[in-house]
Amino acid sequence: MNLSGVLFFPVTPFDAEGGLAEEVLAEHIRQGLEHGPGGVFAACGTGEFSALSEAEHERVIRVAADVVRGRVPLFAGAGGPLGAALSQARAARAAGADGLLLMPPYLAQGPGHGFRAYVEAVAAELPVIVYQRGSVVLEPEAVVELAGVPGVIGLKDGLGDIDRMQRTVLAVRETYPDFLFFNGLPTAELTMPAYRGIGVELYSSAVFAFAPEIAKAYLNGDERLLTEFYAPLVRLRGKVPGYAVALVKAGVRLRGLDAGPVRPPLVDVTEEHLAELEALIKSGLELTAS
């Protein structure tokens, strides 16, 4: 599967009554596609996967598929209890998704072969990228085993352990040279130089969701953005738990699309922090234009 460049993780817009705002979602994805992402990942972490009902999850994927129409690969979030993950996977397949980003199974933990069985069951429905974060912490040997499971095509790393990832990349690519690796840390641009150094080129860009011009300029080599935009954004993100998502949604609103609030347990950005974000976006856009 050809995934390259910046990967687009759209937010999930909600309306004034708290329901899914499908037309806003469609417009959000249309606007993102104009900037040439390498793939669209709908109803994933930035899309508040954990806050969606199964019916809402299916609608998000159908709306995304109707807009994307095969122009780039479309992935859907899936995970949690096995029954829910399988239901999400089947709904995503029926809606036209090309693959899944498989979230951790949350509170239930078993030995390594138990997690492998969980992944195998979901990968039987659609190609899977396993998301390593939270309770899912994999040794290189375990990733080699997963890479041999039919339908498992990649690993997205949300831990940030560069030593572990270097050993994992080396071990997997001995046998599976086409296996995909992704930097899945929040505001991944800040750590991309380190990940590129160990052979991990792909990354999920939260910034692309609200300022694709900035994300593309950084991808094209504008290193000024690293110190003058991304580093301050990471400092702002660290002020409140959950801002990795809430700031993105606030940024979408600041750029003129009413994506609504985040759902609990996340909280919306304060007015003070919103002003900081607005100033950062303005500064970043000025840099890309200079």
What angle (nearest 5°) sits at the alpha carbon of residue 114, between those of residues 108 and 119? 90
Contact (CB, 8 A) for 6 and 216: yes
Nearest-angstrom CA–CA distance, 120 and 276: 44
- Say what the alpha-carbon torsion angle 214, 219, 221, 223 is, to the nearest 10 degrees: 60
What angle (nearest 5°) sits at the alpha carbon of residue 96, between those of residues 92 and 246? 55
Nearest-angstrom CA–CA distance, 95 and 114: 29
Q: Which residues are catalytic?
A: 131, 156
* Angstrom distances, CA of residue 181 to CA of 7, 79, 109, 115, 276: 13, 19, 24, 19, 33
DSSP helix/strand/coil, 129 = strand
Nearest-angstrom CA–CA distance, 223 and 3: 23
Tell me the pairing of strands 99-102 and 39-42. unpaired
